[in-house]
């Protein structure tokens, strides 16, 4: 079977009235930028792109050379097309305006340019995550406030994984589609349409080293999974943790599972590690579109009204029945902890 390319897919979506020409251009431009990042990642030590940039981002994290380079590639690619009103990135303190010399469009682009930075130097999959919002009506110079929209307002979201192959996963609000980069042709043929996450799973993804800092409902949930066949769940569970959210979510989209980065009490001031706007919202949109669920353990991620651009949240996402179960544990008063059968 001959598959269609991303370009063809987007044109069809436009013809069917699902997207306009600007949104089509936006996705094309992001895909092109991801292709450039993929090439840089693929060169590894030969490209001189490994290691630290010697700077820190607004969240106090050390930036890697590839964090900075990927951010620049995405900024440069998106500045001149006329499809954007502004951009915001995990790696920049404030929203980035479109230079005055270029026309402005109606969309806001939000991204984590390089997800999984700790894996860059060790040749493990990393990726890019992005989310598209509409610029609020009448706003000419979008500031932070223009971006503070709940995830339900996203018009598109996607991610690229730079792994053994480079894939681009996309939702425009009507299912989830996967494209695989053909390195020789330089295009992205459609390789999976209408992806579905199985409702049940026996695989979980979590950084267990934080266990002693977790809240009681989290410990209860993981204790039950670890108890396996002889415990209350009556079956064995398997564990995987890549430490690149893109790769962990991609596995879950492909074969099911639950991904958890809970709030922990190591640093009580921090409500979680992952960022709402750059990581949680786009991934929650994709996961819900594939039939899965995404919560903070207490509420639906997409329903959160953001208070800050760089806000962090706990993340529970993936196979629906597991996400619902662990969310119910969080919402069950401690004295009724055995209420959820």
**Interactions with Mn ion, residue window 64-93 (CB under 5 A):** 90
Quick one: what does residue 207 bind among Mn ion, ligand AHG, none, with the CB cut-off 5 to 8 Å set by partner type?
Answer: ligand AHG
Residue 83's CB is within 10 A of a number of other CB atoms, namely: 24
> 124 or 190: whose CB is closer to ligand AHG?
124
> Known binder of ligand: residue 118?
yes
Does position 264 interact with Mn ion (CB under 5 A)? The reply is no
115 belongs to the binding site for Mn ion (CB under 5 A): yes
The annotation status of 60 as a binding-site residue, yes or no, is: no
Greatest C-alpha distance within the chain: 66
Is residue 174 marked as binding?
A: no
How many CA atoms are closer than 13 Å to the CA of 195, on its beta-carbon side? Answer: 28
Chain residues binding ligand AHG by CB under 6 A are 61, 90, 112, 115-118, 207, 243-245, 273
Q: Which does 243 bind (CB under 5 to 8 A by kind): Mn ion, ligand AHG, none?
A: ligand AHG
Q: Lay out the sheet containing 258-261: strands in order across.
A: 238-239, 203-205, 258-261, 315-318, 293-295
Contact 125, 162 (CB under 8 A): yes
Closest CB to Mn ion among residues 112, 288:
112
Nearest-angstrom CA–CA distance, 226 and 63: 35
Residue 165 CB, shortest distance to ligand AHG, in Å, is 19
Name the token pair of 321. Answer: 């029945």
Q: Hey, how many other C-beta atoms are within 10 angstroms of the C-beta on 229?
A: 9
Bridge partners, 195 (sequence order): none
Task: With CA atoms as reference, report the closest residue to 275 among 91, 132, 95.
Answer: 91
Residue 264 or 322 with smaller CB distance to ligand AHG: 264
Kindly state the smallest distance separating residue 328's Cβ from ligand AHG, in Å. 24
> Tokens 């490994």 — which residue?
50
- Of 115 and 203, nearer to ligand AHG (C-beta) is 115
What minimum distance in Å lies between the beta carbon of 281 and Mn ion?
A: 12
Q: Which of 40, 57, 69, 112 binds Mn ion (CB under 5 A)?
A: 112
| Residue among 250, 251, 275 nearest 261 (CA) | 275
165 binds, among ligand AHG, Mn ion, none (CB under 5 to 8 A by kind): none
**182 marked as part of a ligand binding site:** no
200 annotated to a ligand binding site: no
H/E run at residue 76: helix 65-79
Query: Smallest gap, in angstroms, from Cβ of residue 126 to Mn ion?
Result: 9
Give the H or E element holding residue 115: strand 107-115
Annotated binding site for Mg(2+): 90, 112, 114-115, 279
Annotated binding site for substrate: 115-118, 207, 273
Binding site for Mn ion (CB under 5 A): 90, 112, 114-115
């Amino acid at each position: 079977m001959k598959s269609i390319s991303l370009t063809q897919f987007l044109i069809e979506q436009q013809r069917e009235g699902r997207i306009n020409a600007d949104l089509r251009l936006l996705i094309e431009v992001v895909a092109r930028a991801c292709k450039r990042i993929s090439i840089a990642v693929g060169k590894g030590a030969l490209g001189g792109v490994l290691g630290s940039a010697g700077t820190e981002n607004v969240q106090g994290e050390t930036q890697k050379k590839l964090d900075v380079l990927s951010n620049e590639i995405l900024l440069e690619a998106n500045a001149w097309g006329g499809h954007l009103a502004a951009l915001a990135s995990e790696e920049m303190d404030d929203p980035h305006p479109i230079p005055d010399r270029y026309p402005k469009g109606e969309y806001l682009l939000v991204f984590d340019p390089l997800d999984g930075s700790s894996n860059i130097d060790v040749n493990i999959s990393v990726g890019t995550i992005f989310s598209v919002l509409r610029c609020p009506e009448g706003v000419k110079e979008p500031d932070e406030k223009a971006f503070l929209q709940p995830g339900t307002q996203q018009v598109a979201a996607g991610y690229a994984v730079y792994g053994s192959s480079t894939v681009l996963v996309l939702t425009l609000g009507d299912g989830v589609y996967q494209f695989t980069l053909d390195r020789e042709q330089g295009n992205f043929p459609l390789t999976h349409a209408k992806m579905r996450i199985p409702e049940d799973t026996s695989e979980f993804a979590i950084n267990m080293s934080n266990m002693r800092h977790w809240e009681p409902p989290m410990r209860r949930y993981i204790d039950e999974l670890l108890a396996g066949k002889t415990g209350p769940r009556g079956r064995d569970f398997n564990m995987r943790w890549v430490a690149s959210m893109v790769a962990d979510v991609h596995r879950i989209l492909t074969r099911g599972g639950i991904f958890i980065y809970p709030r922990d009490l190591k640093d009580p001031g921090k409500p979680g590690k992952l960022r709402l706007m750059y990581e949680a919202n786009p991934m929650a949109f994709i996961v819900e579109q594939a039939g899965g669920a995404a919560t903070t353990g207490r509420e639906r991620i997409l329903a959160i009204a953001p208070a800050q651009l760089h806000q962090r949240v706990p993340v529970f996402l993936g196979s629906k029945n597991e996400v619902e179960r662990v969310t119910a544990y969080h919402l069950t008063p401690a004295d009724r902890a055995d209420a959820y059968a």
